[in-house]
Amino acid sequence: MTAIVVDKLTKRFGDLTAVDCISFEIKEGEIFGLLGPNGAGKTTTISMLSTLLEPTSG
């Protein structure tokens, strides 16, 4: 069963696009990781999923 659906999630800080239109689904019980270099947008993504940050769109 699908637990989380992310659809075209985007976050901009002024002119800087921190998260650029990402989409993915996570199934119940699935272990899901975000990999990427410093500044790739991992923390921003998790902050939006956990409602600590308001998405720009998506």
Query: What does the binding site for ligand ATP look like in residue numbers (CB under 6 A)?
Result: 13, 16, 18, 36, 38-44
Q: Which does 39 bind (CB under 5 to 8 A by kind): Mg ion, ligand ATP, none?
A: ligand ATP
Over the range 28-54, which residues count as b (16 or more CB within 10 Å of their CB) and which as e?
eeeeeeeeeeeeebbebbebbeeeebe
- With respect to Mg ion, which residue has the nearer C-beta, 27 or 52? 52
10 binds Mg ion (CB under 5 A): no
Cα 58 from Cα 20, distance rounded (Å): 10
- With respect to ligand ATP, which residue has the nearer C-beta, 9 or 44? 44
